[in-house]
Amino acid sequence: MRAVRSWYAYGVAERAGNEQSGAGDDEPADEGGTASRTSAPGRSAAGLGLVLGALGVVYGDIGTSPLYALKTVFTLDRNLTPDVPDVYGVISWVFWSIILIVSVKYVIFILRADNEGEGGVMALAALARRALLKVSERRAASVLALGALGAALFYGDSVITPAISVLSAVEGLEVISPTWEVVVLPVSAVILTLLFAIQRWGTGRVGAVFGPIMLIWFACLGVAGAAEVIRHPDVLAALSPTYAALFVVDHPVIAFIAMGAVVLSITGAEALYADMGHFGRAPIRRAWFAVVFPALTLNYLGQGALILRAPESRDNPFFLLLPGWAQLPMVVLATVATVIASQSVISGAFSVSREAMRLGFLPHLRIRQTSRSQYGQIYAPGVNWGLFVAVLVVVFAFGSSTNLAAAYGVAVTGTFMITTTLFLVVARARWRWPTWRLVVFGVVFGSIELTFFTANLAKVTHGGWLTLLIATVLFTVLLTWRRGAELVTARRIEREGPLPEFIETLHATNIPWVPGTAVFPHPNKETTPLALRANVAHYHVRHEKIVIITGRTANVPHLPWDKRLTIDDLGDPNDGIIHIDALFGFQDPTDFPEVLRRAAAHPLARDVHLDLDQVSYFVSRITLRCTRQPGMAVWRKRLFIALAHNAASHTEFLHLPEERTIVLSAEVAV
């Protein structure tokens, strides 16, 4: 069944709960998608293009973790000694964290929980909400709020990741010559500026450019690590989980502190899930198991072997793993790779933002579709430049990747736990997993992630407060918008009143008709457009032809016009009032004047004789007034009103001609 989304054509917010419908209650198959836009990428996933694109966008974050993960582990606590038990213990923890959290939890399980092909914590929350609506509305609301918290934490991660990734790469210049330290910050700022500037090209084009570069990057990771492993093959023993267990038993306090840095090796896992809508499930899985996972494993093993051979290398084992002649080229490649690493969370933030809009947690933002065939490939200018400003502030405030490492981890591990919780809800309520399976999944992954989260709480006073502050602010914004939209929607519907009753009133009062066609964008045909009600109330006339248009978006790129329009005469074919339900593909422009032209040829519309030469568009714009009415704190109401003022213009979105568009304001008390 094709999923369809409706949206407000005029006002403050999308109706809460108008997210797209689910694709079914059965557990999805491993390689397919649950919706039409997922199945196409799944069927074509064998193509090298999608796999390379996934490498270039999805795996940049986790793929550049070797730059700073082990470096941070061995500099965070100098009680860690570069001997076999400690080095093998750390490597074992890194390896098994990647195996369990990334390979098993995310790549095998979490990617199955797509919402019409979209991933990310908000998409997962929407799935969980729909699964619980039949059971308890309170529980459904709770999981949606939990998803909003996860989204807020992900935004915090989206600020830290570009900053720490680019800084850690450019700091490689200091390994070559300490005199280059002064250029690290300005060079990082220039690189980040260029990164955010190219986002308008779209993730498809960016991935096409970045994919081959990341393939070279992972090849270099693997070769550099393998060269050291060949010299010291004993390090392969670190792959045994027994060393991880012994490390904890022998040094419980040191191991606990080290866990706060080990998590840096898996920080890109949530971005991997959030970016699923850009490329599809199968390309992401194949890129991981064929390229990314082997390269990461070899590099971490190589860094461990180097630390054992040359203990002084633990200050920067990644670059010291290379011969002197290769360090400068690797700095350049690492810088490019970290730019790509930032891409994964940026594009993930775009996807999460769109899901938040659908669920009523954000106002209508400008979203530009950047692909003719892939629904998930989008560009959100407001989100992009907001992230850019935040990232630059963080870069100059912290000054180095070492300082930023203390701020990293809290948001990531918090999102991990939220994702696990929501997945368990979906698995139980939607897929009907048996209890024993839920318990095993929850205990295995929940215990590991709780350990990571607790270990990172120790870093709150050393920088971890930053991501918590970002998450708190954004969580407040998300909840405030949703609650405010609910209040405004309820009060606006009261003012609109039922459309059938309004039409009956028009018939009964014999109100004068004036020539021309009046078009009213409106989200449904049950209530009366405020602009229509205001027209009649203030001018005591109605137009000869009244057209109410409701726009909705389907999850396919294009729809032919013969399948787009549904016309209803609303019970009386002779009163000149009709309703048009217009369905758009996600790549189709939401052009209401074109809808009207196409509808004029429809039999019902021909009977009405739409006058296309005298068309006026009446858009309802709600003016919000802050009051002390119950429902929300006054400061939150003011925040909501400020957000509403910055929402995108629906007149522009609907392609309405300015010279024929009349905006009628209606005041609603909040």
Per-residue pLDDT of 37-84, as tens digits, reads 444 444 443 457 778 877 877 887 788 889 888 888 887 766 778 888
Residue 372, pLDDT score: 59
- DSSP state string for 387-445: HHHHHHHHHHHH-SHHHHHTTSSHHHHHHHHHHHHHHHHHHHHTS---HHHHHHHHHHH
Tracing tokens 């005199």 back to the chain, one arrives at 179
Q: What pTM does this model have?
A: 0.74
**To the nearest whole number, what is the mean pLDDT of the chain?**
81
For residues 321 and 225, membership in a common domain is answered with yes
Mean predicted confidence (pLDDT) in 380-408: 82
pLDDT bucket at 278, cuts 50 / 70 / 90: low
pLDDT bucket at 204, cuts 50 / 70 / 90: low
For residues 433 and 498, membership in a common domain is answered with no
Which position has the higher pLDDT, 445 or 201? 445
For residues 403 and 531, membership in a common domain is answered with no
Residues 128 and 429 sit within 8 Å (Cβ to Cβ): yes
- In the chain, the number of structural domains is 2
How far apart are the C-alpha atoms of 406 and 72, rounded to whole Å? 9
Decide if pLDDT at 347 tops 80.
Answer: no
Tokens linked to 260: 């706060």
For residues 269 and 204, membership in a common domain is answered with yes
Residues 69 and 260 sit within 8 Å (Cβ to Cβ): no
Q: Give whole-number Cα distances, 627 to 3, 37, 486, 624, 637, in Å.
A: 38, 44, 16, 9, 8
Residue 203, pLDDT score: 56
Residues 668 and 515 sit within 8 Å (Cβ to Cβ): no
Residues 10 and 489 sit within 8 Å (Cβ to Cβ): no
Residue 415, pLDDT score: 87
Give the three-state DSSP class for 217. Answer: helix
Q: Give whole-number Cα distances, 390 to 163, 189, 263, 341, 397, in Å.
A: 10, 12, 23, 17, 10
Query: Is 8 a member of any domain?
Result: no
Which position has the higher pLDDT, 529 or 206? 529
Decide if pLDDT at 567 tops 70.
Answer: yes
Per-residue pLDDT of 139-174, as tens digits, reads 888 888 898 898 888 888 788 888 887 887 788 777
Mean predicted confidence (pLDDT) in 27-45: 41
Give the three-state DSSP class for 577. Answer: strand
Residue 476, pLDDT score: 93
Decide if pLDDT at 373 tops 60.
Answer: no
Residue 659, pLDDT score: 86
Query: Is 532 a member of any domain?
Result: yes
| DSSP state letter for 15 | P
49-58, 86-95, 208-217, 507-516: segment of lowest average pLDDT: 49-58
Q: In angstroms, how far is the first alpha carbon of the chain from the final one?
A: 38
Mean predicted confidence (pLDDT) in 449-476: 86
Rounded to the nearest 10 degrees, the angle between the axes of helix 84-97 and helix 241-250 is 120
Which position has the higher pLDDT, 638 or 178? 638
Q: What φ, ψ does residue 171 adopt, rounded to 5°?
A: -65, -10
Query: Is 206 a member of any domain?
Result: yes
For residues 457 and 498, membership in a common domain is answered with no
pLDDT bucket at 25, cuts 50 / 70 / 90: very low
242-256, 368-382, 541-555, 647-661: segment of lowest average pLDDT: 368-382
Residue 375, pLDDT score: 55
For residues 452 and 499, membership in a common domain is answered with no
The secondary structure of the chain in percent helix, strand, coil, rounded to multiples of 5, reads 65, 10, 25
Q: Which domain holds residue 543?
A: 494-669
| DSSP state letter for 603 | H
Tokens linked to 469: 């502050």
Mean predicted confidence (pLDDT) in 244-268: 88
Q: Give whole-number Cα distances, 496 to 9, 46, 470, 526, 625, in Å.
A: 15, 52, 38, 10, 18
Residue 43, pLDDT score: 44
For residues 413 and 536, membership in a common domain is answered with no
pLDDT bucket at 664, cuts 50 / 70 / 90: confident
Residue 227, pLDDT score: 94
pLDDT bucket at 441, cuts 50 / 70 / 90: very high
Residue 173, pLDDT score: 77
Decide if pLDDT at 310 tops 80.
Answer: yes
How far apart are the C-alpha atoms of 354 and 122, rounded to whole Å? 9
Q: Which of 410, 444, 462 is the last residue of a domain?
A: 462
Residue 363, pLDDT score: 82
For residues 436 and 515, membership in a common domain is answered with no
Mean predicted confidence (pLDDT) in 213-238: 93
Residues 516 and 614 sit within 8 Å (Cβ to Cβ): yes
228-237, 429-438, 528-537: segment of lowest average pLDDT: 528-537
Give the three-state DSSP class for 667. Answer: strand
Query: Is 41 a member of any domain?
Result: no
Q: Which of 412, 440, 462 is the last residue of a domain?
A: 462
Decide if pLDDT at 315 tops 90.
Answer: no
Query: Is 279 a member of any domain?
Result: yes
Decide if pLDDT at 176 tops 80.
Answer: no
Tell me how long the chain is.
Answer: 670
Tokens linked to 630: 């119950």
Decide if pLDDT at 484 tops 80.
Answer: yes
Residue 345, exposed/middle/buried by CB under 10 A (0-12, 13-18, 19+)?
buried
Residue 519, pLDDT score: 92
Query: Is 35 a member of any domain?
Result: no
For residues 110 and 239, membership in a common domain is answered with yes
Residue 24, pLDDT score: 36
Give the three-state DSSP class for 623. Answer: strand
Q: How many CB atoms lie within 10 A of CB 612?
A: 11
Phi-psi region of 209 (alpha: psi -120 to 50; beta: other; left: phi over 0): alpha
Which position has the higher pLDDT, 412 or 200? 412
297-301, 622-626, 640-644: segment of lowest average pLDDT: 622-626
How far apart are the C-alpha atoms of 338 and 508, rounded to whole Å? 69
Residue 31, pLDDT score: 39
Query: Is 509 a member of any domain?
Result: yes
Q: What is the CATH number of the domain that holds 211?
A: 1.20.1740.10
For residues 657 and 612, membership in a common domain is answered with yes
How far apart are the C-alpha atoms of 183 and 181, rounded to whole Å? 6
Rounded to the nearest 10 degrees, the angle between the axes of helix 634-645 and helix 464-496 is 80
For residues 407 and 261, membership in a common domain is answered with yes
- Give every CB contact of residue 36 below 8 A, 6+ residues apart in sequence: 2, 555, 556
For residues 411 and 511, membership in a common domain is answered with no
How far apart are the C-alpha atoms of 377 and 165, rounded to whole Å? 23
How far apart are the C-alpha atoms of 145 and 248, rounded to whole Å? 35
Neighbouring C-alpha atoms within 13 Å toward the C-beta of 568:
13
How far apart are the C-alpha atoms of 38 and 584, rounded to whole Å? 18
Decide if pLDDT at 91 tops 70.
Answer: yes
Mean predicted confidence (pLDDT) in 85-105: 94
Query: Is 179 a member of any domain?
Result: yes
pLDDT bucket at 4, cuts 50 / 70 / 90: very low
Tokens linked to 337: 């790779």
Residue 537, pLDDT score: 85
Per-residue pLDDT of 102-114, as tens digits, reads 999 999 999 988 8
The fraction of the chain above a pLDDT of 70, given in percent, is 87
How far apart are the C-alpha atoms of 342 and 61, rounded to whole Å? 6
Decide if pLDDT at 97 tops 90.
Answer: yes
Mean predicted confidence (pLDDT) in 175-183: 76
How far apart are the C-alpha atoms of 624 and 641, rounded to whole Å? 6
Residues 517 and 612 sit within 8 Å (Cβ to Cβ): yes
How far apart are the C-alpha atoms of 48 and 51, rounded to whole Å? 5
